[in-house]
């Protein structure tokens, strides 16, 4: 039920970090993965690494906030590789600032990259999925969709919106045998979060809030991603799996 052999999966923002780990996890489960990022060099390096490990991987660079680029890229992907079976909307950024001082540009950039991109890429992918009457969409949300903290109002708003976009995808597309769900990571150790882990006071606070007593690893998200991309989740729609070591339910 968890075998992804014969499936093609596009993972946005997968040139590095969590996205690349998810792409590798799907490929190990049998999928042919399509790496996406903004820069060709980043995409090529990621694809080379996956292929070096004997995994099936292709690459395509496009800006996930640019509708025309998205359509051109996915058109090319479906012509040269295969129609999409699985979409992982992973692309995301941070631009931190106190809410009272946050610039409109930083607000819009995070909303566009973390939320609007999932709408744009998801909409284009769904058109093919609807025509084929099957598909899987997994949106990478965040613990911050429910538990914001200072300086990330733009990020929390985007991820909160992504949860409701996931539910809207379900309401409109479930009748076409498309399952749309989300994964909400907690504190995952990546290049982007490493400064937090290296701040002794902040790190101690974070570990004190996580019942599991540790930071998450990107690899901790693979199981949920494979599950939501596979036949094992064929009657699961509109859910968000929190992968946070229990932080969401702890006082």
Is 155 one of the catalytic residues? yes
Give φ, ψ of 239 to 5 degrees.
Answer: -100, 155
- Determine which one of 62, 155, 187, 215 is catalytic: 155
Distance CA 74, CA 125 (A): 8
Alpha helices by DSSP H, listed for 81-190, are 104-111, 117-132, 153-173
Q: Half-sphere exposure (CA, 13 Å, Cβ side) for 84? A: 32
| Pair of tokens at residue 32 | 């042919």
Distance CA 81, CA 55 (A): 15
Give φ, ψ of 202 to 5 degrees.
Answer: -65, -40
Q: Half-sphere exposure (CA, 13 Å, Cβ side) for 8? A: 15
Give yes or no for a contact between 103 and 151, defined as CB atoms under 8 angstroms apart.
no
Q: Is 33 left (phi over 0), alpha (psi -120 to 50) or beta?
A: beta
Identify the H or E element spanning 42: helix 40-52
Distance CA 193, CA 129 (A): 35
Give φ, ψ of 60 to 5 degrees.
Answer: -155, 125
Give φ, ψ of 140 to 5 degrees.
Answer: -85, 105
**Active site members:** 155
């Amino acid at each position: 039920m968890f075998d992804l052999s014969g499936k093609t999966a596009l993972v946005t923002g997968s040139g590095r970090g969590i996205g690349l780990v998810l792409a590798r996890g799907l490929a190990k489960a049998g999928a042919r993965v399509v790496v996406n990022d903004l820069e060709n060099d980043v995409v090529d390096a990621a694809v080379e690494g996956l292929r070096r490990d004997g995994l099936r991987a292709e690459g395509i660079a496009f800006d996930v906030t640019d509708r025309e680029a998205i359509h051109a890229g996915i058109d090319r992907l479906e012509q040269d590789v295969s129609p999409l079976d699985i979409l992982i909307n992973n692309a995301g950024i941070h631009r931190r600032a106190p809410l009272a001082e946050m610039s409109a540009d930083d607000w819009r950039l995070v909303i566009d990259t973390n939320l609007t991109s999932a709408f744009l890429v998801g909409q284009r992918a769904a058109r093919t999925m609807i025509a084929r009457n099957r598909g899987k969409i997994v949106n990478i949300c965040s613990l911050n969709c429910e538990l914001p903290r200072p300086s990330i109002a733009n990020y929390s708003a985007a991820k909160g919106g992504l949860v409701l976009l996931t539910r809207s995808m379900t309401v409109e597309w479930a009748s076409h045998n498309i399952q749309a769900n989300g994964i909400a990571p907690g504190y995952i150790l990546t290049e982007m979060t490493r400064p937090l882990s290296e701040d002794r006071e902040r790190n101690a606070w974070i570990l004190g809030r996580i019942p599991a007593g540790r930071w998450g690893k990107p690899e901790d998200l693979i199981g949920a991603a494979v599950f939501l991309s596979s036949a094992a989740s064929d009657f699961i729609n509109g859910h968000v799996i929190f992968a946070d070591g229990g932080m969401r339910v702890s006082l």
